[in-house]
Structure 1
């Protein structure tokens, strides 16, 4: 009896749909044949009933089967592909679109969290609810009594927010800019999307850190870009590597996350920053600086961004409210030359006519309110506490199995496993034991690395979550029958 392959990157429901379609096409199930019930087929294949429901839905969308209340699911009587009226093959449309889906491991993580909300979540790169300024935002919402207009706003972003951000960037990040050079986006990811789609062309070469969050984004491949790696060591990216890639591959743009880099947590060294900016200026090479984590620095002054040192206009600077306050507000920003801001604002207007004015107003007020600085101080304290809980738990549960450098800021801990294991199988083992993480291969690294986000789980769940991961790792190392 055929069974779906749980080790495959293809979702179980899609495997089941493909197998049934093959058997129908071969005549094993002629037109009008009633298929097994969802429950019985789920038991036969050893999967959840919801998985079979999804598989049948795929077959219905393709016009291969039809379902009626009280009659079950049957092979279409008109003959697959021969009926005068057919349902569009939506599965084929979904597969053939030019915009690539998320990586298989990321889809597996998202599906697991959706189906099992009780999983201890070391995977989601966002703050837990207790770290968000919920009470402060609620107070600001209660003060929103002067909203006179709820129509479309400026596609570049709400002017009071752009002015507040210019003041914020000068005060906290040492960046001198004006409201006209700020573009409001729905977050760093939309900023990256706009850059990839509007400032680059298919076939262009770009350089990204290795490992890097950017390597988890299929949007670069969807845009037809050629992506080249910049290795990251304990001091960040080496400027010489950028020069070499520019010479060999004519790289047109460099994407960097210099402060508390995602996923490694490294900080680009001071000398390398100077040399990198000199190289960019000499080559006329734009740098996209993603800086979401700097204000989470633990017990130290946040490192200056490259943009604060940029005397030649080489750096496009992007940031986000998600990592320092609340991802649900969906507010990010970009600092760029006016020509770039206008180009991207025009493109974004074609996408959505601009962001909602209400969250923009809230963020503008929060940045200028007496709530903001105390929130940052509390956030840093709580993140450092959670980081230390995670480190203590790893040292207790896996003293000889993992290696890591202690990050001085950010939300993530990057770990190397002493013995490499298969990423997908380790993830499945961890999910079965009640926890989830991000395998390092998602970020372009070799097998044997994992990223834990300590900002997401509750403090009381960090120890049990690490214990569950340790059980999964030991099961992988010892194989069937091991402890």
Structure 2
């Protein structure tokens, strides 16, 4: 083949190849039903990567000019110009060029691997089915009269549920608010998404904790935001780091999970909480407080939320029932100034036209009942038991090869490996082979030699078995 793509041209190389072949077909150089060169051979002839040829062939297939069959190769269509010629969308290009970014490949792989029947899942940030209040829910569903209409509800969510949440957070978290300042969301993740989409614009700078759950979310990149990291130590993130970032980058918003932080399990000190609120008021800087775990304290210690200490209205407060009741209920909420809540509610209505009434009814009745506090007490005791099991298992199987701080609440344990391994991905692959899934620390921040175990996700026997499998995988790499 004498022709070669022009690497200096503005047109992409794969597009040049596709145009060249399509022109050759039109001129009769490539006949109907004839086979085109294999991807590998054409790549060698043109001096390009094989993936470039694959992209060109897929472009031609989308145009209906060629057909591609796995194992057979790429063939010029038999009736290019006839009535039977049809064009199909190039879905590959649409997927590649969409503005909403996919999850990290490693996160996708973990999700797929955990579908295996014999896989012990200590990666997913949720409670195990044994900790769900299933019996209580069945009782509520059996006795609950359907009084409300089954049409669209209020854009901010069912009013009765918002009134119940107002009472609930006053009693459990000392947060004073009104129903008009609450928006019901599909868990905390939708709340974060609405905040990012509605209150920020591309190019804005935001600060997130390192490590943190937010680090793994592509929604910041999809929205075109610049993220800057706040290191987390034993007392949480340091507000003075925010001041430094704000001077350099004009930070527009700070995202924090100050109580039993995911993944470290740390609690921001009261001193730093006060400093953060003072700094927020001084700079006019909004604080997004994500609080999924504060009711899980293993010794029933009350830790004041930032929102309960907020006298200047600088905190948007996000919480949910996902980590303390059931993730599948999909009930979360945002608390903030009335104007902000109305803006977010308007956006949510554009996306899903409001939340389903059925989970809102269940949440309303469950939060109102005495069963809720009984459930929380049970949950605290069970999570503490599972925390003790995972700590004991790590100590007995790995000794000083790993280190960790024993959390006093939440559902996660942050574990660092004291010796170098080949790579977190390699360690995860070895664990997959043995039937265990965990979350590598690199997914949640810049610290590479860490792993996160979700002890709330596993039953006690599964935790012991899972840590034994992890120890086997780690020892095999360290001893080889």
Q: Which interval holds the TM-score relative to the shorter structure?
A: 0.7 to 0.9
The 3 A distance-change label for structure 1 pair 60 and 400 is farther
- What is the CA–CA distance in structure 1 between the aligned matches of 2:141 and 2:464, rounded to whole Å? 36
Q: How does 1:84-483 map to 2 (within 5 A)?
A: 84-114=85-115, 116-421=116-421, 422-478=423-479, 482=480
Displacement after TM superposition at 1:86 (Å): 2.6
Displacement after TM superposition at 1:201 (Å): 0.4
How high is the TM-score relative to the length of structure 1? Answer: 0.84
Displacement after TM superposition at 1:87 (Å): 2.0
Displacement after TM superposition at 1:32 (Å): 6.6
Q: Deviations over 1:85-125 (max 9, x none)?
A: 232111111111001100111011011112x1321001000
- What is the CA–CA distance in structure 2 between the aligned matches of 1:80 and 1:396, rounded to whole Å? 69
Displacement after TM superposition at 1:67 (Å): 6.5
- What is the CA–CA distance in structure 2 between the aligned matches of 1:453 and 1:388, rounded to whole Å? 13
Segments of 5+ residues of structure 2 without an aligned counterpart are: 1-17, 23-31, 37-57
Displacement after TM superposition at 1:477 (Å): 1.8
- Given that 1:62 and 1:90 are in contact with CA atoms closer than 8 Å, whether structure 2 keeps it comes out as no
Q: Deviations over 1:107-160 (max 9, x none)?
A: 11011112x132100100000000010000111011133245111111100000
Q: Deviations over 1:212-231 (max 9, x none)?
A: 10000000010000000001
Q: What SS class does the counterpart of residue 399 from structure 2 fall into?
A: coil
- Given that 2:428 and 2:437 are in contact with CA atoms closer than 8 Å, whether structure 1 keeps it comes out as yes
Q: Deviations over 1:227-246 (max 9, x none)?
A: 00001001001111011111
Q: How does 1:49-60 map to 2 (within 5 A)?
A: none
Displacement after TM superposition at 1:81 (Å): 9.8
Q: Which moved more, 1:141-150 or 1:191-200?
A: 141-150
Displacement after TM superposition at 1:447 (Å): 1.3
- Given that 1:156 and 1:342 are in contact with CA atoms closer than 8 Å, whether structure 2 keeps it comes out as yes
Q: What SS class does the counterpart of residue 127 from structure 1 fall into?
A: coil
- Given that 1:61 and 1:91 are in contact with CA atoms closer than 8 Å, whether structure 2 keeps it comes out as no
- Given that 1:65 and 1:73 are in contact with CA atoms closer than 8 Å, whether structure 2 keeps it comes out as no
Q: What SS class does the counterpart of residue 114 from structure 2 fall into?
A: helix
Q: What SS class does the counterpart of residue 328 from structure 2 fall into?
A: helix
Provide the residue aligned with 1:78 in structure 2: 77
Displacement after TM superposition at 1:348 (Å): 0.4
Displacement after TM superposition at 1:444 (Å): 1.2
How high is the TM-score relative to the length of structure 2? Answer: 0.85
- What is the CA–CA distance in structure 2 between the aligned matches of 1:138 and 1:87, rounded to whole Å? 48
Displacement after TM superposition at 1:61 (Å): 7.5
The 3 A distance-change label for structure 1 pair 97 and 259 is same
Segments of 5+ residues of structure 1 without an aligned counterpart are: 1-20, 35-56
Q: What SS class does the counterpart of residue 100 from structure 1 fall into?
A: coil
- Given that 1:182 and 1:341 are in contact with CA atoms closer than 8 Å, whether structure 2 keeps it comes out as yes
Displacement after TM superposition at 1:329 (Å): 0.7
Q: Deviations over 1:56-75 (max 9, x none)?
A: x999879664679xxx9764
Q: What SS class does the counterpart of residue 117 from structure 1 fall into?
A: coil
Q: What SS class does the counterpart of residue 124 from structure 1 fall into?
A: coil
Displacement after TM superposition at 1:443 (Å): 0.7
Displacement after TM superposition at 1:381 (Å): 0.5
- What is the CA–CA distance in structure 2 between the aligned matches of 1:325 and 1:123, rounded to whole Å? 18
Displacement after TM superposition at 1:331 (Å): 0.4
- What is the CA–CA distance in structure 1 between the aligned matches of 2:59 and 2:363, rounded to whole Å? 42
- What is the CA–CA distance in structure 2 between the aligned matches of 1:237 and 1:352, rounded to whole Å? 35
- What is the CA–CA distance in structure 1 between the aligned matches of 2:467 and 2:118, rounded to whole Å? 15
Computing the radius of gyration over CA atoms, which structure comes out larger, 1 or 2? 2
- What is the CA–CA distance in structure 2 between the aligned matches of 1:132 and 1:476, rounded to whole Å? 37
- What is the CA–CA distance in structure 2 between the aligned matches of 1:216 and 1:62, rounded to whole Å? 36
- What is the CA–CA distance in structure 2 between the aligned matches of 1:113 and 1:263, rounded to whole Å? 19
Q: What is the RMSD of the two structures over their aligned residues, measured on CA atoms? A: 2.8
